[in-house]
Amino acid sequence: MSGTRISRGGTVFHRTYSVLVFVVLASLDNVAIGLVPPLYEPISGALGVPQRLLGLVTAVSFLASAVAAVGWAYVGDRTNRKPLLMVGTLIWAAGTGGSALAQDYPSFLAAQLVAAVGLGAVGSVGFSVVTDLISPRRRGLVMSFWGLSQGVGTLAGTLTGGILGATDWRRPFLLLTVVGLAATVAYLFTYDIRRGQSEPELAAALDAGAEYDHRISRADLPRILARRTNRWLILQGLTAQAAFGSLVWLPVLFAERAREQGYSAATAVVVGSVFATLFQLGGVLSIVGGLAGDALQRRTPGGRALVAAVGILAAVPFYLVLFFVPMRIDVPDGAGSGAVIRAVLASVATEPTVGLSLLTAVVALALTSANSPNWFALIADVNPPEHRGTVYSLGNLVNGVGRAAGNGLVGVAFHALRVAFPPPLNYAVGLAAFQLFFIPTGIMYWRAARTSPGDIEAVHELLHARAGRL
Same domain, 294 and 391: yes
The chain-wide mean pLDDT, for the chain, equals 84
CA pair distance 195, 226, nearest whole angstrom: 23
CB 398 within 8 A of CB 230: no
**Is the confidence at residue 160, as pLDDT, over 50?**
yes
Q: Which amino acid is at 386?
A: E
Answer yes or no: do 252 and 169 share one domain. no
- Do residues 187 and 243 share a domain? no
Q: pLDDT, tens digit, for every residue of 102-156?
A: 999 999 999 999 999 998 888 788 788 878 877 787 788 778 877 777 777 777 8
The pLDDT tens digits for 32-75 are 777 888 888 889 888 888 887 887 888 788 788 888 988 998 88
User: How many domains, the chain?
Assistant: 2
Does residue 2 belong to any structural domain of this protein? no
Q: Which of 132, 162, 197 represents a domain boundary (last residue)? A: 197
In the chain, the percentage of residues whose pLDDT exceeds 90 is 26
Give me the phi and psi of 110, to 5 degrees please.
Answer: -65, -45
For residues 14 and 66, membership in a common domain is answered with yes
User: What secondary structure letter does DSSP report for 196?
Assistant: T
Same domain, 251 and 189: no
Which structural domain, as residue segments, surrounds residue 179? 10-197
Q: Given 197, 230, 254, which residue is the final one in a domain?
A: 197
CATH no. for residue 146? Answer: 1.20.1250.20
How far, in Å, CA of 397 to CA of 230, rounded? 13
Same domain for 260 and 346? yes
- Domain assignment of residue 215, yes or no: no
On whether both 193 and 245 belong to a single domain, the answer is no
Helix or strand (DSSP H, E) at 86: helix 81-101
Is the residue at 229 inside a domain? yes
Q: Are 296 and 306 in contact (CB under 8 A)?
A: yes
∠ CA 390-388-208, rounded to 5°: 130
**Does 180 lie in the same domain as 37?**
yes
- Cα gap 81→198, rounded to integer Å: 17
The verdict on residue 1 lying in a domain is: no
Residue 399 phi/psi, 5-degree rounding, is: -55, -45
Same domain, yes or no, for 392 and 297?
Answer: yes
Q: Within a domain: residue 343? A: yes
Q: Are residues 164 and 224 in the same domain?
A: no
